[in-house]
């Protein structure tokens, strides 16, 4: 019998972490996770099931997912000279990137930002530095960013474009300044590309240290777990050595290819979501006691000005509506809540419940 708890075998940074928490959403109107609320049209679903019959489930999938990679290159206008690396969600790509770094490397990202950058850095024992965004505009604080870059010499910088949870696109000029100042790689994370009208994809040929990451999750295929990274082929070749051989399973490969061939229905869904985003933002901006921030993604960040966001969040939950409470992050996120754009009737239910919550919390 070991005389120490077996968990003491694990690195102290792992023991100190908490697992990524996902709220139980059963029986809620689910507006917490940036999912596309729409299912697939009946006819397309039938054709898809028919298509899946040809998946040889007894065989390993294509380790390189070549056909899918080609389809992604096409539909995302990845420049000819750039390479592509596929991941089990872009989360896995964030992990692959950081696993490749030397153990004394620093990872840098503006905050508030996507939590997995930091979570994965900590799990790998890397140094992580967050740099606060400017209050209110949520733009990059360039003096602070440039100072952190020069003093910490980060091997890797993550910039979500648009940013999660704030929803804004950072000024493109400032991102180019960071690309010029960075001694290492800069990942522009375009998870919300389907809802934004700006991208760094066409900049790849001009910046050897730029990598552009995307996912099909927010487009409407979150269940598949598929993300990808585009950039310099010699960099991706090294990262590819860490990737587990069959990380994109056969059902994901075939389903994603099928969905991209039929992507018109997904594009129509994202258009509807963008229209709804305009309506929900206008409605939120009319509510006294709320400051709502414009968004280039499929969610809206808002702040309660007088009432406690925790109380509003709890009241929404009691009314059957689940959104994301960011206030525990503190700092710029004090009293901030984030709502994902849903179907029109879900958005209406949310707005009514929010009004009720504001009227009935002390
Ligand atoms: C949702 C999200 C991701 C993760 O996407 P997956 O492909 O589902 O792992 C990555 N980056 C940002 C900024 C996100 O909001």
Decide if 158 contacts 189 (C-beta within 8 A): yes
Decide if 333 contacts 327 (C-beta within 8 A): yes
Q: 165 phi and psi, to 5 degrees?
A: -100, 10
User: In sequence order, what DSSP letters do the residues of 43-112 get, joined into one string?
Assistant: HHHHHHHHHHTT--TTSPPPTT-HHHHHHHHHHTT--TT-EEEEESSHHHHHHHHHHTS-TT-EEEEEES
- CA 88–ligand 1 middle distance (angstroms): 11
- Does residue 1 carry a pLDDT above 80? no
Supply the pLDDT for residue 200. Answer: 98
Q: Helix, strand, coil: what percent of the chain each, to 5?
A: 45, 15, 40
Q: Which two tokens stand for residue 150?
A: 């020069």
Specify the ligand 1 atom closest to the Cα of 163: 13
Q: What is the 8-class DSSP label of residue 7?
A: G
Protein residues whose CB sits closer than 6 Å to any atom of ligand 1: 34, 89-91, 114, 160, 164, 189, 191, 215, 217, 222, 227
The residue to mutate among 90, 95, 224, 226, having the most atoms of ligand 1 within 8 angstroms of its beta carbon, is 90
Supply the pLDDT for residue 3. Answer: 84
**Average pLDDT score, the chain:** 96
- Does residue 142 carry a pLDDT above 80? yes
Report whether CATH 3.40.640.10 matches the domain 55-261. Answer: yes
Report how far apart, in Å, the C-alpha atoms of 235 and of each of 100, 101, 125, 154, 156 are.
Answer: 10, 12, 22, 17, 13
Q: What is the C-alpha separation between 338 and 153, in angstroms, rounded?
A: 33
Decide if 157 contacts 111 (C-beta within 8 A): no
3-state SS assignment for residue 61: coil
pLDDT band at 354 (very low <50, low <70, confident <90, very high): very high
**For residue range 187-222, what is the model confidence (pLDDT) as tens digits?**
999 999 999 999 999 999 999 999 999 999 999 999
- Does residue 164 carry a pLDDT above 90? yes
CATH code for the part of the protein at 6-41+265-360 = 3.90.1150.10
Decide if 126 contacts 98 (C-beta within 8 A): yes
- With 0-12 CB in 10 A as exposed, 13-18 as middle and 19+ as buried, what is 49? exposed
Location of structure tokens 């901030």: 336
**Start-to-end CA span in the chain (Å):** 56
Q: Where, residue-wise, is CATH 3.40.640.10 in the chain?
A: 55-261
């Amino acid at each position: 019998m070991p005389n120490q708890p077996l968990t003491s075998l694990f690195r102290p940074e792992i023991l100190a972490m908490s697992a990524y928490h996902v709220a139980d959403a059963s029986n809620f109107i689910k507006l917490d996770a940036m999912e596309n609320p729409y299912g697939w049209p009946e006819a397309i679903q039938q054709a898809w099931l028919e298509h899946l019959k040809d998946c040889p489930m007894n065989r390993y999938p294509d380790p390189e997912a070549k056909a899918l990679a080609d389809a992604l290159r096409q539909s995302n206008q990845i420049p000819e000279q750039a390479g592509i690396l596929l991941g089990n969600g872009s989360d896995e790509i964030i992990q692959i990137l950081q696993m490749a770094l030397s153990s004394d490397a620093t990872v840098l990202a503006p905050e508030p930002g996507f939590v997995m950058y930091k979570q994965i850095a900590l799990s790998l024992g890397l140094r992580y530095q967050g740099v606060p965004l400017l209050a209110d505009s949520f733009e990059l604080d360039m003096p602070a960013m440039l100072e952190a870059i020069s003093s910490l010499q980060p091997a890797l910088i993550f910039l979500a474009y648009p940013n999660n949870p704030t929803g804004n696109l950072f000024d493109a000029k400032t991102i180019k300044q960071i690309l010029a100042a960075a001694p290492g790689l800069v990942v522009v994370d375009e998870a919300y590309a389907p809802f934004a009208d700006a991208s760094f994809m066409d900049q790849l040929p001009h910046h050897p240290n730029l990598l552009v990451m995307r996912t099909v999750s927010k487009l409407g295929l979150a269940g598949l777990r598929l993300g990808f990274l585009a950039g310099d082929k010699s960099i991706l070749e090294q990262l590819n050595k860490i990737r587990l051989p069959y990380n994109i399973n056969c059902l994901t490969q075939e389903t994603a290819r099928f969905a991209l061939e039929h992507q018109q229905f997904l594009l129509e869904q994202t258009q509807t979501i963008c229209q709804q985003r305009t309506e929900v933002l206008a409605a939120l901006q009319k509510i006294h006691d709320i400051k709502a921030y414009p968004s280039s993604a499929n969610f809206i960040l808002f702040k309660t000005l007088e009432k406690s966001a925790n109380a509003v969040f709890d009241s929404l939950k009691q009314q059957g509506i689940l959104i994301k409470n960011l206030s525990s992050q503190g700092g710029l996120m004090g009293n901030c809540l984030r709502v994902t754009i849903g179907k029109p009737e879900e958005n209406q239910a949310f707005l009514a419940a929010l009004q009720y919550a504001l009227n009935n919390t002390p």
